[in-house]
Amino acid sequence: MTEVSIEQLTKDYGQGPAVDGISVRIAEGEFISLLGPSGCGKTTTLKMIAGFEDATRGAIRFDGRDVVHVPVEKRDIGMVFQNYALFPHMTVERNLAFGLEMRKIPKTEIRDRIAKVLDMVQLTGYAERYPRQLSGGQQQRVALARALVIEPKILLLDEPLANLDAKLREEMRVFIRDLQRRVGITTVYVTHDQAEAMTMSDRVVVMFGGRIAQIGAPSDIYERPANLEVAEFVGQVNIVRGKVVNSIVSTPLGDVPVVGHYADGADITLALRPEAVELLPVTAGVAGVPAKVLSSYYSGSLVDYRLELANGTIVNVQTFPRTRFRDGETVLVHAPADRFWPLGSVA
């Protein structure tokens, strides 16, 4: 198992940095995701870790050894590509044997290791198939097996689920996560899909414009986003602005006490996740802010509401569909004060 440490890593193609001095330490056996919109530098970072791109500045250390000048083929990485990149002229077995042959592993051992890895990805019996004879999910698993069979120091995955249909994608998330836990390999996973990053990773690195916006466990990223950009990229969010007076912010959804160093009179932005808000029918004696239902979207397990407060503020709310409200109906909105998360002062 390998610890990967990235220090001040920078890539500049000549028109400003694509990756701008990022630093991360990835622990042995950790599953880390690089999450961000396209063009944020996540794929470039992965390619630099793999060695396909040269770093303009900075260091990449595998167990303390700087590998920046080590060519890809000597870096001992396992990589899964977006379109799998299975060699079309080779059977599954030949694909899996390729990396082992490069390492001059004896034939008998190659056979044993292929059998073992095929069992691991549940493809025993598919050794003689050609890639085009496999389904998308099967190709995906062969690509994983090919990267793992060489027992690399780290596993790199570049949006590996992007080409699969929705149902298969969810299955593969669980499959890859479980496999990674069993093998215990240090893993870097690139994706633009926040749900993927959240469900699979130990930690998520959120990137914008070549810089790291936040590093943290999925729950940190979701519940305690570092800034507005992160909050909006990771799931839906209501943004509420207000002034701090005596450590209390008055918002259209009620007063929110804020802890921390906020000067009186400072403008502050608060994030409120739609599912943190409760909706109640208008009944005498129940506290809440009245709001009108503009529209609702039913998706089976959940309902999304779009509401308008008396002052015109729009609030998005997600609830279980136990009680349904009709469009145009007036409801009471209750947002617990501890579910607001401050995103720092408004500039």
Partner 1 sequence: MSKPFFTVYCLVIYAFLLAPILVVVGASFNAGAFLTFPPQGLSFRWYGVFFNNEVFMRAIRTSLWIAAVTTVISGIIGTMAAIFYVQHSGKLKETVRIAMLAPLLLPEVLTAISLLFFVYSIGVGTQTMVGMIVGHVLITLPFVFINVSASMESYDPAWSMAAQSLGAGRFTRFRRIMLPLIKPGVIGGCLFAFIISFDIFTISFMLKNVGTSTLPIQLFDYLRTNFTPEAAAVSTCSIVLTLVVVVVSEKVLGLRIHRF
Partner 2 sequence: MSAVAGKRLGPLLLIAPAAILLTAFLVLPYLNIVLMSFRMPGQGTPYGPGLTLANYGKFFSDIFYIQQVVNTLWIGFVTTFACLVLGYPVAWQLARGTSSLRALGYGLVLSPLLVGIVIRSYGWTILLGNNGLINRTLMGWGLIDGPLPLMYNALGIIIALVHVFLPFMILPIMSAIQGIDPSLEAAARSLGASKLTAFRRITLPLSLPGIQAGCILVFVLSLSAYVTPSLIGGLRVKTMAVTVVDALIDTFQWPFGSAMALVLSVTGAIFVVLFGRLTVMKWKA
Binding site for partner 2 (CB under 8 A): 54, 69, 71
Number of residues that bind partner 1 (CB under 8 A): 26
For the chain, where are the E strands, in sequence order? 4-12, 17-26, 31-35, 57-62, 65-66, 77-80, 154-158, 186-191, 203-208, 211-216, 238-245, 248-251, 254-257, 267-272, 278-281, 289-298, 303-309, 314-319, 330-334, 341-345
Exactly one of 3, 10, 81, 339 binds partner 1 (CB under 8 A); that residue is: 81
Report the nearest approach of partner 2 to the CB of residue 39 (Å): 24
Give the x/- contact pattern for partner 1 in 137-156, rule: CB under 8 A.
---------xx--x-----x
d(CA 272, CA 329): 23
d(CA 197, CA 211): 18
206 contacts which partner out of partner 2, partner 1, none, CB within 5 to 8 A by kind? Answer: none
26 contacts which partner out of partner 1, partner 2, none, CB within 5 to 8 A by kind? Answer: none
**Which range touches partner 1 (CB under 8 A), out of 13-21, 96-104, 184-192, 315-323?**
96-104
Q: What is the dihedral of CA 59, 63, 67, 68, to 10 degrees?
A: -10
CB-nearer residue toward partner 1: 60 or 147: 147
**Which range touches partner 1 (CB under 8 A), out of 67-75, 168-176, 185-193, 196-204?**
67-75
319 three-class SS: strand
54 contacts which partner out of partner 1, partner 2, none, CB within 5 to 8 A by kind? Answer: partner 2
d(CA 36, CA 31): 16
Structure-block tokens of residue 231: 């909050």
Exactly one of 25, 65, 74, 116 binds partner 1 (CB under 8 A); that residue is: 74
87 contacts which partner out of partner 2, partner 1, none, CB within 5 to 8 A by kind? Answer: partner 1
